[in-house]
Amino acid sequence: MGGREPAHLFVNLQNRGGAGSMLNQFSRTQLLFGKEAMERLYNARVAVFGVGGVGGYTVEALARSGI
């Protein structure tokens, strides 16, 4: 999939309007895991098969973590 900016996640969020709350949410995660881990999460691609009971929660957790 093309179109994603290669710059760091937080720089991208700062440039988007209305993303201040997301910036705050991810900055706390960055404190826990570090900048390199956050960049790996931002560039991650996943596939979830079966978005039923457990898969639905999995997809929501992945989306909330910025993947």
Convert the pLDDT of each residue in 19-51 to its tens digit: 455 567 778 888 888 989 888 888 888 888 888
Q: What are the residue ranges spanned by the domains of the chain?
A: 9-64
Residue 3 region by backbone torsions, left for phi larger than 0, else alpha for psi between -120 and 50, else beta? left
The pTM assigned to this predicted structure is 0.44
Average pLDDT of 57-65? 85
Give residue 20's pLDDT: 54
Give residue 21's pLDDT: 58
**C-alpha 47, offset from chain centre:** 15
Answer whether residue 6 shows pLDDT above 50.
no
Q: Amino acid identity of 7? A: A
Cα distances (angstroms) measured from residue 30 to each of 10, 43, 52, 63: 10, 15, 30, 16
Mean residue pLDDT across the chain: 73
Cβ atoms 48, 19 nearer than 8 A? no
